[in-house]
Chain A
Amino acid sequence: MSRLLLNKRFALSGLLLLVLVLPLITSNAYMIRILILTFIWTIAVYGLNLLAGYTGYLSLAHAGFFALGAYTLAILTVTVGLSYWLAFILTLVFTSIVGALIGMIALRTREHFFAIYTLCVGYIIYLIIYNWEGMTGGVRGFIGIPSPGSIGPLEFNSQISNYYLVLFFLVLTIVVIYRIVHSLQGRTFMAIRNSEDLAKTIGISTTKNKLIAFILSTFFAGLAGALFASFTRFIGPEISNITMTFDFLVYLLIGGIGTLSGPVIGTFIIVWISQELQFLQDYRMLVFGPILVILIIFAPRGISGFIIDWNLKRKAKKQQIESMKDMENNQEVKEG
């Protein structure tokens, strides 16, 4: 067990080191750009994972909250003219508050109703962004969002500096999610996922905890959206579209819903495959759609979950063999 943990830790630090030095060894600006976007999607997918994976509530408004974060940052920095980091913090506060308000109502519904309700909420956000031209620029999109302001001596004008900034937020997100999942709070979410009625009977306030999960999920969606806006510096209403939510879902499902490493694995693999299959662009769902269906039937916890289960099975088998050997030995001793 300790060796496995050591291996894991070793692999993790190796991976971190790799992404840290990557911009230094490659000068491929396109690749760095794709990596930055992947980091941003991953943050959003972690938010979705907390709600759909750990708490069991499939929210289909996630792209809406992502767009809410992006547009709030754009409006606060450009239209209102606040300094970047103040606007950044206000964006996170604002998306969380909107998340809390919508969550309070949405979470009164359960299962199918929740999915349909959030689907409609997402659609309303899209229609508002699309139609409210005065504020959001409508179809034309929102142009001229500033890149992150400097903190002391740190400036974020270049692509490389943006890379490290987004990477910092990604690592922070993973650490926070790790702490949450392994805390009592995380156990509470999982209890609700496994059986809401059972959770209630052991004294968990499901209303309160579901709301916490919902707010956290919108918080990370907003964070990703804000980073996205200041990185691409141009946003259009399509980022709030339902297809974006479906993209997040594909990343999460393929990586492994309800697992810690799932969002990273899924997002990286799918973005990478999409890059390889550039010619498929519009038709990529011809491949990912069936993969999604097959996975949900045969490996509902995605790649990550599949590996975890496989490891557990192997270990169980090993134990079984060992115990059988022990028994045989004992018998031999008795007979002898």
Chain B
Amino acid sequence: MDIFFQQLFNGLTIGSVYSLVALGLTLVYGILHIPNFAHGALYMMGGYITLTMMQTLGLYYWLAIFVSIVVVGLIGVLMERLVFHHLRHAPPIHDKIAAIGMLLFLEAFAHRVWGADYLEMATPHGQVVSVFGITFTLQRLIIIVAAVLVMFTLYLFLKKTYMGMTVIAMSQNRAGANLVGVNTNKVAMLTFFISGALAAIAASLSSPINLVFPGMGHLVILKAFVIIIIGGMGSIPGAIVGGYILGFTESLGATYISSDYKDIIAFILLVLILTIRPNGLFAKGGQS
């Protein structure tokens, strides 16, 4: 039974990271209807920038994360300004290809600057904690708490502030939002900033228990896509719930089925879901 709770806890940790990444992806999709394949590259950049800040400037972990949030957020804004903005009237296939182009560029960039090695990120929170028979490092607990805090803050921002409400308005109806005076360009930039920031937070939190390398975003982004399809493209609660569902499924699947094939679980889940429901699990009636 201990193993079960231990795995449940691990699932909560992984799920938190997945949820954060999926949130960024779903926000962008909700606003601009772009499946941002480059989101995984933002995640990777987040990991590297935090690491560089800690190693070369000797910044404290949390301060490094803050820098990373700002930088990756700005990279996100640049993406919107330089690329997606110009493609807003283009056929949907163009957005996807442009996103892939940026993904390839950022990955090669990381490869060039930081090398192909797997790097470790030290954390000041490596202590081992034991509660109710479950043993874990403090870092894992921090991931869960921080993720919940970030989600709660995001919720407050979207629901209670004027700026946040413009984001929601635009995801509901772009033309309508424009009509009542929302500056859609600003909202698009803001959304990309939030999306990049979320990716940076997720990567910085998870890097101490995983590793930092150029391809670290691949699996995460693919799984984030699975999550937002499960949760409904553009749905914020869907992304959070979907993230935790996938986290639990994986960590339990790795223990009770096979750890070799744990990465395939998500994709088989997705293939099954799309086979039965071509528009996703919680699609809002009608074809998109």
Q: In the complex where A56-B91, A131-B260, A249-B97 touch, is A289 in contact with B271 (Cβ < 8 A)?
A: no
User: Does B176 touch A at the CB level, under 8 Å?
Assistant: no
User: Does A315 touch B at the CB level, under 8 Å?
Assistant: no
A39-47, A179-187, A270-278, A292-300: which lies at the interface:
A292-300
User: Does A260 touch B at the CB level, under 8 Å?
Assistant: no
CB neighbours (8 Å) of A110 from chain B are 278, 287-288
Closest residue on chain B to residue A120 by CB atoms:
B267
CB neighbours (8 Å) of B33 from chain A are 112
Cα distance, A334 to B108, chains bound together (Å):
68
Q: How many residues of A contact B (CB 8 A)?
A: 39
CB neighbours (8 Å) of B102 from chain A are 289, 293
CB neighbours (8 Å) of B174 from chain A are none
Cα distance, A111 to B233, chains bound together (Å):
13
Of the candidates B83, B108, B280, which one forms a contact with A285 in the assembled complex, judged by CB atoms under 8 Å apart? B108
CB neighbours (8 Å) of A131 from chain B are 260-261
Interface size class of B (residues with CB under 8 A): 35 or more
CB atoms of A111 and B271 under 8 A apart: no
CB atoms of B96 and A112 under 8 A apart: yes
CB atoms of B93 and A58 under 8 A apart: yes
CB neighbours (8 Å) of A109 from chain B are 274, 278-279
Of the candidates A105, A127, A285, A297, which one forms a contact with B105 in the assembled complex, judged by CB atoms under 8 Å apart? A285
CB atoms of A293 and B225 under 8 A apart: no
User: Does A242 touch B at the CB level, under 8 Å?
Assistant: yes
Q: In the complex where A56-B91, A120-B222, A131-B260 touch, is A292 in contact with B271 (Cβ < 8 A)?
A: no
CB atoms of B278 and A108 under 8 A apart: yes
CB neighbours (8 Å) of A289 from chain B are 101-106, 108
CB neighbours (8 Å) of B111 from chain A are 282-283
User: Does A119 touch B at the CB level, under 8 Å?
Assistant: yes
- Encode B246-278 as 1/0 by CB contact (under 8 A) with A: 000000000000001101100110110011001
CB atoms of B93 and A52 under 8 A apart: yes
CB neighbours (8 Å) of B229 from chain A are 113, 116
CB atoms of B100 and A285 under 8 A apart: no
Q: In the complex where A282-B111, A283-B111, A289-B104 touch, is A113 in contact with B264 (Cβ < 8 A)?
A: no
Closest residue on chain A to residue B228 by CB atoms:
A116
Chain B residues 60-107 with CB under 8 Å of chain A are 83, 86-87, 90-94, 96-98, 100-107
Closest residue on chain B to residue A284 by CB atoms:
B108
Closest residue on chain A to residue B109 by CB atoms:
A286
User: Does A215 touch B at the CB level, under 8 Å?
Assistant: no
Most buried by A among B94, B102, B279: B94
User: Does B21 touch A at the CB level, under 8 Å?
Assistant: no
CB neighbours (8 Å) of B263 from chain A are 127
Of the candidates A117, A283, A286, which one forms a contact with B270 in the assembled complex, judged by CB atoms under 8 Å apart? A117
CB atoms of A112 and B101 under 8 A apart: no
Of the candidates A112, A282, A286, A296, which one forms a contact with B35 in the assembled complex, judged by CB atoms under 8 Å apart? A112
User: Does A310 touch B at the CB level, under 8 Å?
Assistant: no
Chain A residues 239-253 with CB under 8 Å of chain B are 242, 246, 249-250, 253
Which 7 pairs show the lowest CB-CB distances between chains A and B? A289-B105, A292-B101, A285-B108, A289-B104, A285-B104, A108-B278, A293-B101
13 pairs across A/B with beta carbons < 8 Å? A56-B91, A108-B275, A109-B274, A113-B274, A116-B35, A116-B225, A120-B225, A127-B264, A246-B104, A285-B105, A292-B97, A292-B104, A296-B94
